[in-house]
Amino acid sequence: MSTKSVISVFGSTGAQGGSVLNSLLLQGKFQLRALTRDVDSEKAQALKQKGVELVKIDLSDSAEEIQKALQGSHGVFLVTPISPNESEHGKKVAQAAKDANVKHFVFSSLSHVKKITNGRLEVPHFDSKAEVEEFARKLSLENPGFVSSFVYIPFYAQNLNTWFVPRKDQNGDYSITLPLDPAGKPLEVGDVKNVGPIVAEIFTDAKKYSGVAIPFAGSVVTPSQLVESVSKNVGQPVKYNYVPPSVYGTFPFPFAKEMANMFQFYSESGAFPKLDLSIAPKITKLTTLDEYLAKNPIKLE
């Protein structure tokens, strides 16, 4: 029977949770529990082979079920997937963690766009996470034995391999189309795999990181620098096509308005207004955009 403290990780087969679990496995200081909807999935079974305990749980499950799943945990890492119930789910887990006598709650948060812009812009998947952070901070204030810490994720470099792959126009030219104003603030970009080492470090020192929010970005680039890196990676010119948020938000695809508001917020405020980007590089080597693309080449369609 292991005498190591238990860390429970939500989203354990996803990008962020998977990175956190892998980093904690390498660190070797904790016993690990993966919380997942499908304990029979290939990814979950691969974790089991590495000695990770699997527990079947869904964020839509009752508070009692979640509390039971967290019982015996010293720490919990939570990332909430985008959903209309994101804020509700996140608060429920934070409360369940406190009620299960968890000592350290680490949450993947984002800026409260609606508050920062005085209601002018709304980005629900940002604002919902910020509401969970506010709730967790309140719990910690009222219960000093329940420490909460936060990690802030930038624009995923992985998006350039998926959502924002360069597209070819009728003339055969490639471009990336975004509502990110070239005259605005540059874009914070990061490899999601960097979240793991940061969270692993946070769990080693609850006192040091109590109430601390740690954003990270491997690169901070203008739109022209972004397409310059992409052009170099694909071996041919890629142009930047700026579409104003007011137009981009009318495009006929899911979350178009939310994406438009997100990039407008990035342009106006940056992803992490008033947060300290100097903490993360002291914890781990952050992957630059060029380094990420060298290992994950973009495939043009």
User: For residue 2, what pLDDT is reported?
Assistant: 66
Residue ranges with strand state E in 181-225: 187-190, 213-215, 219-221
Q: For the chain, give every residue range classified as CATH 3.40.50.720.
A: 6-153+191-215
Q: What is the dihedral of CA 71, 127, 11, 16, to 10 degrees?
A: -120
pLDDT tens digits along 218-277: 999 999 999 999 999 999 999 999 999 999 999 999 899 999 999 999 999 999 999 999
Q: Are 40 and 64 in contact (CB under 8 A)?
A: no
* pTM (two decimals): 0.96
Q: 268 φ, ψ to 5°?
A: -85, -40
The residue length of the chain stands at 301
User: For residue 301, what pLDDT is reported?
Assistant: 83
Q: For the chain, give every residue range classified as CATH 3.90.25.10.
A: 155-188+218-271+285-295
Within 10 angstroms of residue 90's Cβ, the number of other Cβ atoms is 26
**Closest Cα partner for 207 from 250, 249, 144, 152?**
144
**What is the C-alpha separation between 269 and 213, in angstroms, rounded?**
17
pLDDT of 78 higher than 80: yes
What is the fold of 6-153+191-215? Rossmann fold (3.40.50)
pLDDT of 84 higher than 90: yes
pLDDT tens digits along 48-64: 999 999 999 999 999 99
Assign domain 155-188+218-271+285-295 one CATH number from 3.30.43.10, 3.20.20.70, 3.40.50.1820, 3.90.25.10.
Answer: 3.90.25.10
